Structure 1
C-alpha cells in the first residue's frame, strides 16, 4: 500500500465510486458481501488498492497545502518538480488558530512581530508521497489564496 486506507467515513462518502471500482473488476454487490465475509484479506486488498487510487488522484490535483499552529503558519505550493514554502512566525502572544488571531495576521502582515521566510526545494522522493506526508502531519489542502497573498508581499 502506497498511502493509507481511507477511513470508514471516506469510504461511505465514496460508496458509488467504490461500487464502480469493484464493477470494473466484475465484482457486484452480492459477490462483494460474500468476499468480505469469506475472504477478508481479499476485501482488505481491494479496499487498499481503491484507497491508493483515490489518494493518488487527490494528491496529483493538490496545488497548495497549509498548516496552522498558534504562533506559526506554513504555506506550501506543490509544483511538479519542487515545493515552495512560506513560513510565518509570530513573536508575540496571539493565537492564529482563532479567527481574531488569523484576521490580525492578514491585516498586519508587515508588523515587526511577524517573521516571514521563503524557500523552495526539489522533492526528495516522489511528489505525491511528500505531499501526503505533510497532510498526514496535519496540513490541509487549500486553494492557495493565503500562499499567494504572502508570496506577493515577500516577492
Structure 2
C-alpha cells in the first residue's frame, strides 16, 4: 500500500465510487459481501487498492498546503519537482488558530513581531508521497490564497 487506507467515513462518502471500482474488478454487491465474510484479506486488499487510487487522484490535484499552530504558519506550494515553503513566526501574544489572531496576521503582515522564512526543496522521494506525508503531519489542502498573499510580500 502506497499511502494509507481511507477511513470508514471516507469510504462511506465515496460509496458510489467504490461500488464502480468493485464493478470494474467484476465484483458485484453480493460477491463483495461474500468476499468480506469468506476472504477478509482479499477484501482488505481491494480496499487498499481503491484507497491508493483515491489518494493519488487527490494528491495529483494538490498544489497548496497549509499548517497552522498558535504561533507558526507553514505554507507550501507543491510544484512538480519541488516544494516552496513560507514559514511565518509570530512573537506576539496572539493565537493564530483563533479568528482574531489570524485576522491580526492578515492585517499586519509588516509588523516587527513577524518573522518570515522562505525556502525551496527538491523532492527526496516521489512528489505525492512527500505531499501525503505533509498531510499526515497535519497540513491541510488549500487553494493557495494565503501562500500567494505572503509570497508577494516576501518576494
**Partner Cα separation in structure 2 for residue 11 and residue 40 of structure 1:** 17
What is the distance in 2 between the residues matched to 1:80 and 1:63? 9
Tell me the TM-score normalised to structure 1 length. Answer: 0.99
1:25 and 1:150 map into 2 onto residues whose CA distance is 46
Runs of 4+ residues deviating >3 angstroms? none
Distance 1:136 1:83 in 2: 16
Superposed counterparts of 1:121-140, under 5 Å: 121-140=121-140
Which residue in the other structure is 1:57 paired with?
57
Per-residue CA distance 1:16-60 (angstroms, 9 max, x = gap): 000000000100001000000110000000000000000011001
**CA displacement at 1:121 relative to structure 2:** 1.1
Q: Deviations 1:92-138 (Å, cap 9, x if unpaired)?
A: 11100000000000000110000011110100110000000000000
TM-score, scaled to structure 2: 0.99
After superposition, the CA RMSD in angstroms is: 0.4
SS in 1 for 2:6: coil
Structure 1 spans left out of the alignment, 5+ residues? none
Instruction: Give the drift of 1:77.
Output: 0.1
Task: Report the Cα distance in structure 2 between the residues aligned to 1:25 and 1:6, rounded to whole angstroms.
Answer: 19
